[in-house]
Amino acid sequence: MEAAIEIRDLRKSYGDVQALDGVDLTVPEGSFFGLLGPNGAGKTTFINILVGLVRKTGGEARVFGHGVEDDYREARDHIGLAPQEFNVDRFFPIREVLEHKAGYHGVPPGEAGDRADEVLKRVGIYDKRDTRFDWLSGGMKRRFMLARALITDPDLLILDEPTAGVDVQLRHELWETIVDLNQQGTTILLTTHYIEEAERLCDEVAILDSGRVVDVASPEELMDRGTDDIAVELRHAPTAVPDFTAVDERVESVDLDGTRLVVTAHQGGLVAPEVVRCLDEQGHEIVDLEIQRTSLEEVFVEMTRQGEGRATAEVSQ
Amino acid sequence: MSIDTTGFVSLLRREVLRFVRRPRNTFVPPFITNVLYFSVFGVILGERIDQIAGVPYILFILPGLVVLGAISNAFENASFTIFHGRWNRYIEEVLTSPLSYRTMVSAYVLAAAIRGAIVGVLIALIGAFFTSVGVARPLYLVAFAVVITLLFAGFGVAGGLWADDFDDLTMLNQFILRPLVFFGGVFYSLNELPATVQQVSLLNPMIYMVNGVRFGFLGVSEVDPNASLAVLGTLTLGIIVADIALFRRGYGLTD
């Protein structure tokens, strides 16, 4: 299958600041791909290089096989972008803004009008079609950004913080629309600060930190790299802390507080039966057991904290 | 239709609608200003001034006022739309589209030139209300009108890319464009200047524009209209090619 985005050794510097420092990334066609990273990690720079708003300093960036600078017209024709910052034409009612945008992509006038109506209905702001962007509420503005990205019927939909500042209900509605598009074959590239969003929606995520890709994996794989807590409530307090590290190498630590035993381990769901079996063999009676899965957010914070440490070490060298 | 043709028409339409729908900002100001110019300079002062180049003073200044209005509006339209689009970032709607840089520049320049031409016609009509005016050389008039509006639309695009602030746009218009026009023979004849000043004045490109349009209206010119047309035409082509190169480089548009 062709890659929707193919990135090799992508670099961007602003004077001494290295915004992107040799990024390698492949986003498969049809995937729902997340780009996570703290502020200043280079996510928006990365996106802006794809759509032609930032010039790369080095490396290669291709969209459906088209170089974003040499074949910029073909590359841009595949992309629909909903940026984080509002960048909408304030002079015209939103329906006309959509018609213009469709026209720039070669959609004839009659069809552009039909498409504008269709996407406005899809995001639920058709009754505001004759209103100018400035007069829309915050939530409607976010909906419109998605409508504008969809007007050209893109193969690759890039969403930069699409649900920033919207309420829970709207966030869920937007998720539903995006998932629906992905199921119809549109490749989605999503950046978000809501890790739950990535956990819930993405097939694969890349963690970007200080202009570098720290890791690329599915949310489940990333969560497996974190540690889960298996909390066991015993009938009677043990006289010593049971040693599970020798039983299963995935166990990281064991803490005992009275009758409450907490085993910290990778892949806690798989380790738990082993813990139960051992406790049973040692004659302990289990009253309650709970597995607290690590969240993607915890893994993300841990990974980017390691990045901070690395960056600090590099600076001090 | 290809992407370029449809895209060009869409961007041109957007640009034209922007100024057509805001006549209070685009057409009413030059209308009022030129009614005042013709009233004060043409009628009140003009009656006390002898003929210049064989024509009444009000008729002499009419082509210059047409040029002044046409190029100011062409320049202002292009520089404003580019700068305002950058300022509010909605120019990104165009920049992220598959349009070629040549198509983007062509649409911006042509739309601004259309506004300049409309204002030029408006001023000529105001002049016709105050005095009897004909068109001695219509082909020359059209050719000069096309070239000078395109030229200043082209300059406007470059200005809009260069400006970092609204003050920069005001500076271009008030401190560069307007003095060049006022010293470009709009209100006086070159023959009335001392010989040295006459020679220096010939370095001002406005002299050729004003005289070219004057030749179109009145059939009289103080410089060779064909040479003027050739020089202005070359300049126009040059600035449009430069605009396309600036867009391609992303000057003022991309990081």
Residues 6+ apart with CB under 8 A from A249: none
Please check whether residue B49 is in contact with residue B57, taking contact to mean a CB–CB distance below 8 angstroms: yes
Give the Cα separation of A290 and A283 in Å (integer). Answer: 20
Number of residues that this document lists for chain A = 317
Tokens of A283: 């004659």
Of A73, A85, A89, the CB nearest to B93: A89
Look at residue B147 and tell me if it is in a domain.
yes
Residue A55 to residue B255, Cβ atoms within 8 A: yes
Determine, yes or no, domain membership for B7.
yes
CB < 8 Å to A14, chain B: 255
A107 touches B at CB < 8 Å: yes
CA distances from A206 to A14, A21, A117 (A): 23, 15, 35
Say if the ipTM goes beyond 0.85: yes
Minimum CA–CA partner of A90 in chain B: B90
Cβ proximity of A265 and A273 under 8 Å: no
Which residue is closest to B100 within chain A, CA to CA?
A73
Residue ranges of domains in chain A: 3-222, 227-292
What distance, in Å, lies between the first and last C-alpha atoms of chain B? Answer: 33
Nearest-CA neighbor of A49 among A12, A17, A2? A12
The answer to whether the Cβ–Cβ distance between A100 and B10 falls below 8 Å is: yes
Considering only the beta carbons, identify the residue of B13, B18, B95 that sits closest to A52.
B95
- The nearest CA of chain A is from the CA of B23 a distance in Å of 14
Q: Determine how β-strand A156-160 pairs with β-strand A187-191.
A: parallel
List the single residue in A81, A99, A112 with the smallest CB-CB distance to B96. Answer: A81
* CB contact at 8 A, A266 and A250: yes
Give me the residues paired with residue A286 across strands. A234
Asked if residue B36 is part of any domain, the answer here is: yes
pLDDT along chain A (317 residues), means of 10: 92 93 96 91 94 96 96 96 94 98 95 97 95 95 95 96 84 91 96 82 92 90 82 88 80 89 87 89 89 77 64 40
Low-confidence ranges of chain B (pLDDT < 50): none
Please report residues of B whose CB lies closer than 8 A to that of A98.
Answer: none
Chain-chain contact of B89 with A99 (C-beta, under 8 angstroms): no
The answer to whether position B165 is within a domain reads yes
Residue of A nearest to B8 (CA): A104
Q: Is A90 on the interface with B (CB under 8 A)?
A: yes
Three-state secondary-structure class, residue A232 = strand
In eight-state DSSP terms, residue B192 is: G
User: What was the pLDDT predicted at A300?
Assistant: 76
Structural domain that includes position B133: 3-249
Residue A289: strand pairing partners: A232
- B107 CA to chain A: closest CA distance, Å? 11
In three-state secondary structure terms, A117 is helix
A182 touches chain B (CB under 8 A): no
Cβ–Cβ gap B14/A89 under 8 Å: yes
Is residue B255, in this structure, part of any structural domain at all?
A: no
The interface residues of chain B toward chain A in range 68-127, judged by CB-CB distance below 8 A, are 88-90, 92-100
Which residues of A are less than 8 Å from B98 in CB distance? 72-74, 76-77, 104-106
Check CB contact under 8 Å for B93 and A97. Answer: yes
Say if residues A59 and A18 touch (Cβ distance below 8 Å): no
Contact A53 B92 (CB under 8 A): yes
B interface test, pick of A18, A48, A50, A104 with most B CB neighbours within 10 Å: A104
A227-292 classified as CATH 1.10.3680.10: no
Looking at beta carbons, which residues of chain B come within 8 Å of A76?
A: 96-98
pLDDT at A317: 37
| Nearest CA-CA partner of B215 in B199, B203, B201, B229 | B229
| Nearest chain A alpha carbon to B98 | A73
Q: Which residues of A touch B90 (CB under 8 A)?
A: 87-90
Reported residue count of chain B is: 255
Residues A89/B90, Cβ–Cβ less than 8 Å: yes
Q: What's A3-222's CATH class?
A: alpha beta
Are A104 and B13 an interchain contact pair (Cβ–Cβ within 8 Å)? no
Structural domain total, chain B: 1
Instruction: Judge: B93–A76 Cβ closer than 8 Å, yes or no.
Output: no
